[in-house]
Structure 1
Amino acid sequence: MSMTLRKRAVLAAGGLALVAALAWAFSPRPLAVQTAAVTRGLYEQAIEEDGRTRLRERWVLSAPVAGRLQRITLREGDAVAEGDTVAWLQPGAAPLLDARTERQNRAQREAAAAAVQRALATEAQARTAREQAELAERRSAQLAAQGFVSATQRDADRLNTHAARQGLEAASAAVRMAREDLVRAEAALAPPAAALPLSRAGGQAPLRLRAPHGGQVLAVPLTSETSVAAGTALLEIGDLRQLEVVAELLTADAVQARAGAPVQIDRWGGETPLRGRVRRVEPAGYTKVSALGVEEQRVKVLIDIDPDQPAAAALGDGWRVGLRILTLRQTDALQLPVAALFPRPDAPDPQGRAMAVYTVDAEGHARLRPVTLGGRNGQQAWLRDGLAAGATVIVYPPAGLTEGARVQARTP
């Protein structure tokens, strides 16, 4: 009898073990998911785009009269100072003027004289603007020392002073160019024998062509001795200390790139990024076809490079750079990965701020939680409310995930 009871006990235990094994085999498994934690920290939102450098001002030296150009020895990259002799031009014989041409030349001389007066007035305005900018910078420095002005306003005043000084330099160069145009117009009215200086041999002496502004030679279109017509471009000069960056942004992004916004300039070839600020967003947009054949509305944004960066001297005209224009900065912000977000099915939001996430509770179950966003970038999203720091969210939630489902964090 004891053997019979023992066999029955063994069979019962085996049956229970089999039932338990079948129950375990057919019970639902926890869904393996990838998780991340909600954290606090610095949140930044920026526009990333490519740009190119360009000179604010460039000066093109052209032939004042027709003649024989002697060989130009300067080459691209050579430094020149204002007033340096850069070329020699042997003028051709001046033609006799008829009455109609003489009247035209007189009108050009009057126009050139008026251009000189206009350039002088512009120079005076630029000088006044520089003095106002310098005065504002000095006042800003005094108030900043007392704690009444922010560092951002002080940087803006310093950049305005730098821009005003460059504007005065450009206005002074315009005065010199206008005076040269007046000399050219007066020479066109002079008699053939007196229009140009004579050499000791009795012929016309070559004209000395001088650099209108200091800087570096950018282009030399004609390197050999040749005959040129009046107005032919002979030399292009630019000051590489007056570089700016031009970016072509989508119009929707350009609305956020306000004047004065800080800019990080990278991928320019140097070891460290450069600093800059948005100076102007041009008011007129244009249509540009992308590489995929899509028509896009874009607008040009002009960016000033901070002048107190020695590394910026390595940049040249027309160089490609990477830009990161900061549009939003929030300290001590709640953040979570963008991949954890999905639209709320119960509250459609065209602005994309009413979103939802799945969190994991202490028992390992998924819980649907609505959240409100303050912004998002390519990797992180800024939470205004809905979660607390330290909460665990599910990243890339599977399509079959539902409220209350058992989940298990996937091992990395």
Structure 2
Amino acid sequence: MKHSGKKYVGWIVAATAVGLLVYVILRPQPVMVEVAPVIRGPFVQTIDEDGKTRVRERYTVSAPLEGTIERIRLKAGAPVEQGMLLAIIHPRVPGLLDVRVEQELRARLSAAEATHAGSRAAVERAQAALTQAKADYERTKKLAEQELVPPARREHDELAVTLAMKDLQAAQFANRAATHQVEMARAALLRVQKPLPTNHGDDQHWEIHAPVLGRVLRVFQESEGVVTLGTPLLEIADPADLEVVVDVLTTDAVHIAPGSTVWFERWGGTPAVKGRVRLVEPSAFTKISALGIEEQRVNVVIDVTDDEEQWRGVGDGYRVDARIVTFQAEDAVQVPVGALFRDGDGWAVFVMADGYARKRGLQVDRRGSATALVTQGLAVDEQVIVYPSDAVQDGVRVLARVVG
């Protein structure tokens, strides 16, 4: 009997060992997952789009008369001084100038005078805006010295002065160009009404001078040839006075306000350059996406607010990546967007707890490019599963590999 009892115990031990071995072999293996912690810190929501630089003001030099133009020797990029000789036109024979040409010149003069009046008003508005911006800054500066307003308010008003000065410079550029346009149109009309005699020799030519200081952006009419009234010849601008135009979806544009902070990246240098939204254009347009889908988009015009030296080397028509800030919080609970998935009408994540995946519903307030702002459902330092596969379900064993 004694030996039978020992034998019975031995069989039990052996059976238990075999059972454990079978369990270990047949039990489901843990799913390999990547996890990341829930964090607390500054949160920024941005709209990321491609943008393109452009000069704020450009002036197109056009032919004031019909005739033959001599070869233009200036090349794109050439510096131009105000009053510099740009081109020479030999007008048509006076006898061939008809009433139609005179009517066109009169209409051109009227349009130039209207543009000039508008440019003068724009200069006055820009001067008034600059005066107001300076007054606001002086008040804020005194209050900041007494610590009655935050430093950010002082920086904001100081930036407003800088941008107002740029607006005034652009308005003055446009006014000088408009003044020159009026002078050219008036002189051309007078030339038609009182032409020089045909035996006047070389005095028959017409000189076109630069209306503004800047550089040649492009030459439209490089070779000698016949030109008609209004034919574009050159384009002049200040290539250092740049703005950035970004087209965004109209559904995103409603969240962008003038004054919003913008960061420009991948512009060809480092670090990122700061800007500020000046205008969200009121009219949208249709654009075909790379996938062939029609999209409604609208242009956002942005001023560069960082030092021009940091932006040096960037010219007209250059591509940049723009990150337009639409919301920011200094202290927010955040989770990687790759951990989120839809659960009915809400959001959920898989939290790793004691080696198992546990589904957890949560309240997401905003989503950024990398993280989402969570207002309810998660605690700081909890580990969430990033990009969970179909094999990850509530209660499944998981083995973590930490990322981020």
| TM-score bin (small chain) | 0.7 to 0.9
SS at match of 1:172: helix
Report whether the alignment pairs 1:409 with 2:380. no
For residues 302-345 of structure 1, the C-alpha deviation after alignment (integer angstroms, 9 at most, x for no partner) is 11112523032311111111111111212221111222222234
Comparing 292-301 with 172-181, greater Cα deviation is found at 172-181
- Alpha-carbon distance in 1 for matches of 2:117, 2:16: 109
- Any conservation in 2 of the 1:374–1:383 contact (CA below 8 Å)? yes
- Alpha-carbon distance in 1 for matches of 2:392, 2:100: 89
Counterpart code for 1:288:
K
Alpha-carbon spacing, 1:119–1:371, altered in 2? closer, same or farther (3 Å):
closer
Alpha-carbon spacing, 1:119–1:46, altered in 2? closer, same or farther (3 Å):
closer
- Any conservation in 2 of the 1:123–1:175 contact (CA below 8 Å)? no
Q: In the alignment, which residue of structure 2 is the partner of 1:165?
A: 169
Alpha-carbon spacing, 1:84–1:340, altered in 2? closer, same or farther (3 Å):
same
Q: Where does the alignment leave 5 or more consecutive residues of structure 2 unmatched?
A: none
Q: In the alignment, which residue of structure 2 is the partner of 1:210?
A: 209
For residues 77-103 of structure 1, the C-alpha deviation after alignment (integer angstroms, 9 at most, x for no partner) is 110111111222333421266778767
- Structure 1 residue 285: Cα displacement: 0.9
- Alpha-carbon distance in 2 for matches of 1:109, 1:34: 71
- Alpha-carbon distance in 2 for matches of 1:117, 1:403: 72
- Alpha-carbon distance in 2 for matches of 1:66, 1:104: 11
- Any conservation in 2 of the 1:251–1:299 contact (CA below 8 Å)? yes
1:390 is aligned, of 381, 388, 392, to 381
- Structure 1 residue 65: Cα displacement: 2.2
SS at match of 2:156: helix
Q: In the alignment, which residue of structure 2 is the partner of 1:247?
A: 246
Report whether the alignment pairs 1:360 with 2:360. no
Alpha-carbon spacing, 1:397–1:74, altered in 2? closer, same or farther (3 Å):
closer
- Structure 1 residue 257: Cα displacement: 1.9
User: TM-score scaled by structure 1?
Assistant: 0.84
Matches within 5 A, 1:270-281: 270-281=269-280
- Alpha-carbon distance in 1 for matches of 2:382, 2:83: 70
- Any conservation in 1 of the 2:126–2:167 contact (CA below 8 Å)? no
Q: In the alignment, which residue of structure 1 is the partner of 2:301?
A: 302
Alpha-carbon spacing, 1:143–1:95, altered in 2? closer, same or farther (3 Å):
farther
Comparing 243-252 with 303-312, greater Cα deviation is found at 303-312
- Alpha-carbon distance in 1 for matches of 2:396, 2:118: 79
Q: In the alignment, which residue of structure 1 is the partner of 2:189?
A: 185
Between the two proteins, the alignment pairs up a number of residues equal to: 399
- Any conservation in 1 of the 2:240–2:315 contact (CA below 8 Å)? no
SS at match of 1:181: helix
- Structure 1 residue 252: Cα displacement: 0.8
Alpha-carbon spacing, 1:119–1:186, altered in 2? closer, same or farther (3 Å):
farther
- Cα RMSD (Å): 3.1
What is the identity percentage for the equivalent residue pairs of Structure 1 and Structure 2? 37
Counterpart code for 2:64:
P
For residues 217-250 of structure 1, the C-alpha deviation after alignment (integer angstroms, 9 at most, x for no partner) is 1122233333333332222111112211111111
Comparing 219-228 with 393-402, greater Cα deviation is found at 393-402
Alpha-carbon spacing, 1:377–1:130, altered in 2? closer, same or farther (3 Å):
closer
Comparing 386-395 with 10-19, greater Cα deviation is found at 10-19
Matches within 5 A, 1:104-253: 119-147=119-147, 148=149, 150=153, 151-193=155-197, 202-253=201-252
- Alpha-carbon distance in 1 for matches of 2:396, 2:74: 77
- Any conservation in 2 of the 1:109–1:186 contact (CA below 8 Å)? no
- Alpha-carbon distance in 2 for matches of 1:97, 1:410: 84
- Any conservation in 2 of the 1:334–1:389 contact (CA below 8 Å)? yes
Alpha-carbon spacing, 1:291–1:398, altered in 2? closer, same or farther (3 Å):
closer
For residues 101-151 of structure 1, the C-alpha deviation after alignment (integer angstroms, 9 at most, x for no partner) is 767766766666666555545544444444344444444444444442613
Counterpart code for 1:207:
W
